[in-house]
């Protein structure tokens, strides 16, 4: 029986990136939909679950993607709501690569640090990737400082994450002022920059001022770097006395996780590959 | 040479149901188009018939689908108009599952009744499925009472069907009033309910009042049932002295017909699988 | 590794013609996009070049198509602009079959004439196919008279082509008046008609008046013919003392070139199959 992946993309034209990965993951048939909204989901999901027998449904799965992560989260909810009883297919959500990137980032960090004993600063921590990196770090017992230009937004994200992870060690920070950023940097082992492309979030002087720093990970692929001095190809590169990763340095692991996650959808018909599940799967690969 | 099925769907996002069935029917390549209108058809069909040699065209076929059955009928006409001479591909129309459902319904009835000697009441007989069930029943020699809330609409549908089937034994009925429904029920062997989801068309008392009733088939999958007392999983189930089928009970046959119909498209390049042809094909399977 | 072709089509519904040819050319996975605009291109191309390793990118390619040739040219430019360094995939542009048709036309002419010693008249030479036929003819050393109803447009096209081909022997002509057409016909060996369907560009009397004529090629597939007296199935058919080709007569070669061009995309990751490259490829087949 052929493995069918149904790609529900919130952009008008479904992502070629996700399609190539699906093909390379061994999917036999890819049904790609663009411009998918929550209103379309029930019909699309019912068509998927009412055709093959429940015992065959592990050969059908759903991938939720698109550049808008919030829209993808809404679609994922709608997909889960349309599944019931034995009429289930596995589903993965990775809009804009947010979940696989966050998982690869925290896995890279865990190679060098004992996360349960780590204090981490996540810059642009209210964005889709930063927020997921923070979630995974606190789920591993790290103490996280979640920084944003706006203290209100970082506070809101921290409140949201406290509900997702029990016993979160998490603190909002403001990173727009030099004083705010300096305070956030104080005594951290790890800095992750998860901001928009071409946006520097911390300069070399500020970075060198963190005497406790062991690892810096910058997820921005387009220069100027988010962390000044870190380069896109860095992969456990020694810089100024700490190790650094750039976006491409994390990218190899991200791609492996993405491939393995798509493959794992076809091992059962009831998997939900969200942020936490994709991270667990990624850890099992290393 | 690869078997290509071109799915022309009148909905914006082409049906996942029809796509899964196409894959499971052994189609090698599925070209799925959503939002197809009669204006698009000629270009799409010409691209299909002017690429491969006429002797190879049995490996290319067209499937017309979508939730709107009337729109699908218009597309089917446009497809047929775009084919000519040796430049032909086989085509199947099954918008909203209307043709395969109607075929499966009448095949289920034929398992228990001699249709040429049957009087049948089709409730919601002016709808896309009801109208097709009525067509197939009269084509098998049954006497059909075609009921609708509106006598005008049932009369119009009967007139239309009389042109489709020669020597049709067919009578319009009004089913909105209790008197009208009672008259329609008088002396029938078979009741088929083909109404909208969640809409009861006949209650248990009215049903039990039909002393001649041998078989009741309800095609509504979402409770409350179209025929009060019939359940969705019923399959030749004995209830109150007659047999009953629910939507899922008919669904297995429907799915077999759908699969076989798609497969048969690739046995020649000039098949037109419409209501009558899909029924004939379904009968050949049992 | 599976061969992936990404079809970027400027029409709302991507061409079935191009899809069937892609399948028959051996493409394993076809990603078809309709309604593609230059704004969409970068994201689609980056998704294609950032998934597989550069050494694997010869298994991914892009096809630009659609009925609007000018829009396709703009897309091709946008695709080329999105490729860089080792992050490249091969790309072919054949909107409305313009490049493969032009190549097949000039290859047909070269079977019967020494092009470097040929004077050719291209009717409707400012259109997408006519302009490409003219380009290829002058690239082979032919002297070309490029005719249009408007002398201004034929002059503009000649100026454009002079920049594309060095040392072009090319002259604009007006073909709306009988005098203009007669002058354009004077002493030519070859007439190519590349006008719109159902539009006669030259009548039999005018044609017979060209005593030097050796070959007439009409690319209009829908009667009335562009060259009066030439029939659509003509293939090196002797008519009135010269040979003639109709659209179908040229079509076999066109189809072979289209198939071979798609296949050749997967032999390297940096091919750009434009007008000149498709012609060269077509010549290597004969």
pLDDT tens for residues A160-176? Answer: 999 999 999 999 999 99
Given a cut of 80, whether residue C286 has pLDDT beyond it is: no
Q: Which of B31, B43, B50 sits opposite C19 (nearest CB)?
A: B31
Q: Which residues of A touch B255 (CB under 8 A)?
A: 51
For B6-32, what is the mean pLDDT?
Answer: 98
Would you call C20 and B46 a contact, using CB atoms and an 8 Å cutoff? Answer: no
Residues 5-34 of B with CB under 8 A from C: 6, 28-29, 31, 33
Q: A136: which DSSP letter? A: H
Q: What is the pLDDT of residue B221?
A: 87
Residue B16, min C-alpha distance to chain A (Å): 5
DSSP run (H or E) holding C182: helix C178-185
Would you call C13 and B36 a contact, using CB atoms and an 8 Å cutoff? Answer: yes
Top-level class of domain C4-93 = alpha beta
Rounded distance between C-alpha atoms, residue C117 and residue C142, angstroms: 6
Q: What is the pLDDT of residue C83?
A: 96
For A55-66, what is the mean pLDDT?
Answer: 97
pLDDT-above-90 percentage for chain B: 97
Nearest one of C138, C120, C110, C121 to C276, comparing CA atoms: C138
Residue A219, min C-alpha distance to chain B (Å): 35
Would you call C6 and A16 a contact, using CB atoms and an 8 Å cutoff? Answer: yes
Rounded distance between C-alpha atoms, residue B78 and residue B76, angstroms: 5
Nearest one of B127, B72, B74, B90 to B105, comparing CA atoms: B127
CB contact set of C39 (below 8 Å; sequence gap of 6+)? none
pLDDT level of residue B160 (50, 70, 90 thresholds): very high
For chain A, the domains span: 4-93, 98-250
**Cα–Cα–Cα angle for C62, C68, C73, nearest 5°?**
50
Would you call B15 and A50 a contact, using CB atoms and an 8 Å cutoff? Answer: no
Rounded distance between C-alpha atoms, residue B141 and residue B186, angstroms: 19
Please write the tens of the pLDDT for every residue from C231-268.
999 999 999 899 999 999 999 999 999 999 999 999 99
Give the predicted TM-score (pTM) of the model: 0.95
Second CATH level (architecture) for the domain C98-250 = 3-Layer(aba) Sandwich (3.40)
Q: Where are the alpha helices (DSSP H) in A83-139?
A: 98-112, 128-139
pLDDT-above-70 percentage for chain A: 100
In CATH terms, are A4-93 and A98-250 the same topology? yes
Q: Which residues of C touch B4 (CB under 8 A)?
A: 19-20, 23
Given a cut of 90, whether residue A286 has pLDDT beyond it is: no
The ipTM (two decimal places) reads: 0.93
Rounded distance between C-alpha atoms, residue C37 and residue B273, angstroms: 37
> In degrees to the nearest 10, what's the CA dihedral of C134, C140, C142, C146?
10
Half-sphere exposure of residue C11, counting CA atoms within 13 Å on the CB side?
Answer: 18
């Amino acid at each position: 029986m052929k493995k069918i992946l149904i790609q529900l993309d919130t952009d008008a034209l479904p992502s070629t990136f996700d399609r190539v990965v699906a093909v390379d993951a061994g999917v036999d048939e890819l049904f790609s939909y663009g411009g998918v909204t929550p209103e379309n989901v029930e019909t699309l999901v019912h068509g998927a679950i009412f055709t093959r027998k429940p015992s065959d449904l592990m050969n059908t799965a759903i991938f939720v993607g698109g550049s808008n992560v919030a829209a993808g989260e809404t679609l994922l909810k709608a997909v889960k709501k349309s599944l019931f009883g034995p009429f289930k297919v596995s589903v993965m959500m990775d809009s804009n690569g947010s979940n696989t990137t966050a998982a690869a980032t925290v896995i890279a960090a865990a190679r060098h640090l004992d996360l349960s004993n780590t204090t981490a600063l996540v810059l642009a921590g209210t964005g889709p990737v930063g927020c997921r990196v923070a979630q995974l770090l606190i789920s591993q017992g790290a103490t996280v400082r979640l920084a944003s230009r706006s203290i209100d937004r970082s506070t809101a994200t921290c409140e949201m994450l406290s509900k997702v992870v029990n016993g979160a060690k998490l603190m909002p920070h403001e990173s727009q002022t030099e004083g705010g950023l300096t305070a956030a940097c104080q005594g951290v082992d790890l800095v992750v920059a998860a901001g928009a492309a071409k946006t520097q979030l911390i300069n070399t002087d500020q970075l060198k001022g963190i005497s406790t720093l062991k690892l810096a990970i910058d997820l921005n692929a387009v220069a100027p770097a988010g962390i000044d001095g870190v380069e896109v190809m860095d992969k456990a590169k020694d810089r100024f006395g700490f190790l650094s990763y750039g976006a491409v340095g994390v990218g190899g692991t991200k791609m492996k996780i993405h491939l393995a996650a798509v493959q794992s959808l076809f091992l059962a018909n009831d998997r939900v590959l969200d942020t936490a599940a994709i991270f667990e799967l990624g850890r099992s690969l290393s």
